[in-house]
Amino acid sequence: MTIGIGLLGLGTVGAGVAQILATPRGRHPLVGELALRRVAVRDLQRARPIELPSDLLTTDAEAVVDDPAVEIVVEVMGGLEPARSLILRAIAVGKPVVTANKAVIARYGEEIAAAAAARGVYVLIEAAVGGGIPIIEPLKQSLGANRISRVSGIINGTTNYILSRMADEGAAYTEVLADAQRLGYAEADPAADVQGGDAADKIAILAALAYGGSITRSAIPTQGIDRLDARDVAYADQLGYGVKLLAVAEQVATTAEGVAELDVSVNPTLVPRDHPLAGVHGVNNAILVEGDPVGRVMFYGPGAGAGPTASAVVADILNIAGIRQVSALGTPEQPVPLDPLLAAGSWRPCRLVDSAQTRHRNYVRLRTSDQAGVIGRIGTCFGDAGVSLQSIVQFQAPTDSEGGEAEIVVITHEVQEACFRQAMAAIEALPVVASVAACLRTL
Ligand SMILES: NC(=O)c1ccc[n+]([C@@H]2O[C@H](COP(=O)([O-])OP(=O)(O)OC[C@H]3O[C@@H](n4cnc5c(N)ncnc54)[C@H](OP(=O)(O)O)[C@@H]3O)[C@@H](O)[C@H]2O)c1
């Protein structure tokens, strides 16, 4: 039984998918049953890494969705619109959708899931987070019995590549970024990666799956690596830490009404060298899931690229194709619930907790006058606000600083954010403190 596939997009991921479909030998037997029927692109003249019959290509993406020969719609065009509308259009006509589009799912996941559940079609999103790493289906299914306490991860390969090189070479951020762009590891416009937006999209999706309810994407506190100073990477190294852009979702409380309160954020974070996430280098991604009773489970692998991402997209297509094979379900005439677990009513109310109430360890670098008693005054500000310190160290003043300046690095114990902010306000007001040069999280 051949199953017709419609591809929306033939860029990096789309071409990777077409490549797998064109070479079924040695793969799961169902790959041989998948036939590419129509492919939407923007530019029919563009050279492609894979040769396809020219009559397969069209610039009319809606025609791909509507084509009766297309049974599964694969959205790999990216962006919010028309991707969102095309996904909803496919659902409306009862066609299952596979998408790699984290931006759409992070913002419209609830709308899309509701439409899919109402119409009884699958929308599978394995490629949207972690590229080739299976994390969506494990979170939805294999770890379903657990109370998930925390999901934390390195889920942006570009920034991890930049941070790895900053640590290895002691190089400045702008220098490494320029080199990463030359090598194709960073986009010409790197904003979504380096400012943390891409990681925030992905942690929004992981949080929704881990805690069973969607959160407002735009409310996720997000700090990227674009203002990170090589000094902090070097100091972190001297203190026994690596710096990683961590995306974290953690349940901190449940209200009397049963609403899960989540601390979800993206921050450059000092990770102790013996922590499993500290060993993740280069463009690789890793996601650490902590739950009861499973303990810690880590997923590691290539987080992007044509092959790895297409691997996840085709796995989702096979999932749908497999269900079709063993039952007559999943067709426009005989729909199935979107997802057996979600259909059982597992969506729960979730919301982001007030950030002042969250608890973290912090790393702070201060530029101060180089005189006796400075460390004592800074320590008093922290103490007065109830912030206990793990370490406070004076480093050599940077060569570009004014004469008579010192640099002081503080690592706090885990403290409430409101207390930390109070201490920092008092420290900034000290005449001996020239500036707060950096403020990062510590795991
Ligand atoms: N690249 C990765 O490693 C990776 C990893 C995980 C997830 N993803 C996600 O996968 C999706 C695709 O990424 P990508 O890197 O493959 O993007 P890409 O290389 O820019 O490819 C996008 C494709 O979509 C086509 N397209 C865009 N807008 C269109 C429109 N309005 N009508 C018809 N065709 C349109 C483009 O046509 P033309 O070729 O004619 O311009 C192109 O073929 C994104 O959501 C991305 O976030 C990518």
Residues of the chain with pLDDT under 50: 338, 340-345
The per-residue pLDDT for range 246-257, each reduced to its tens digit, is: 999 999 998 998
User: Are 418 and 357 spatial neighbours (Cβ–Cβ below 8 Å)?
Assistant: yes
Taking the centre of ligand 1 as the mean of its atom positions, its distance from the CA of residue 10, in whole angstroms, is: 7
- Residues 6-36 as b/e (b if ≥16 CB within 10 A, e otherwise) read bbbbbbbbbbbbbebbeeeeeeeebbebbeb
Distance CA 349, CA 257 (A): 9
pLDDT value of residue 404 = 77
The architecture of the domain spanning 143-302 is 2-Layer Sandwich (3.30)
Q: In one letter, which amino acid is 127?
A: A
Q: Beta strands 389-395 and 405-412: pairing type?
A: antiparallel
Report the relative pairing of strands 284-292 and 147-154 from DSSP bridges.
Answer: antiparallel
Q: Facing residues of 74 across strands?
A: 7, 98
Residue type, 17: V
Atom 44 (ligand 1): residue with closest C-alpha?
78
CATH homologous superfamily of domain 358-442?
ACT domain (3.30.70.260)
What's the rounded Cα separation, in Å, for the pair 330 and 336? 5
Which stretch of DSSP H or E encloses residue 381?
helix 374-384
Q: Whole-angstrom Cα distance, residue 356 to residue 339?
A: 36
Task: Provide the residue count of the chain.
Answer: 443
34 CB near ligand 1 (under 6 Å):
no
Q: Side chain identity at 438, as an amino acid letter?
A: A
> Nearest-CA neighbor of 215 among 354, 357, 352?
352
Contact between 363 and 440 (Cβ < 8 Å): yes
Looking at the annotation, which residues are catalytic?
202
Helices vs strands, H then E, count in the chain: 14, 17
Say yes or no: do domains 3-132+306-343 and 143-302 share a fold: no
List of E strands, 179-324: 241-254, 260-272, 284-292, 295-302
304 in contact with ligand 1, CB cutoff 6 A: yes
109 in contact with ligand 1, CB cutoff 6 A: no
Whether the Cβ atoms of residue 16 and residue 9 lie closer than 8 Å to each other: no
Token look-up 């972190």 returns: 236
pLDDT at 349: 81
Q: Which of 76, 102, 284, 313 for mutating ligand 1's site (highest number of atoms within 8 Å of CB)?
A: 76
Give the C-alpha separation, 124 to 137, whole Å. Answer: 9
pLDDT digits (tens, 9 = 90+) for 279-311: 999 999 999 999 999 999 999 999 999 999 999
Under 8 Å between Cβ of 164 and 280: no
Q: Are 97 and 122 a contacting pair, CB within 8 Å?
A: yes
Distance CA 194, CA 117 (A): 35
Q: How far apart are CA 388 and CA 4, in angstroms?
A: 62
Spacing, Cα 13 to ligand 1 middle (Å):
7
Q: How far is the C-alpha of 100 from the C-alpha of 209, rounded, in Å? A: 16
Residue found under tokens 């396809």: 52
CATH class of the region 3-132+306-343 = alpha beta
Distance CA 263, CA 258 (A): 16
Pocket flag, ligand 1, residue 10 (CB < 6 Å):
yes
Q: Where are the domains of the chain?
A: 3-132+306-343, 143-302, 358-442
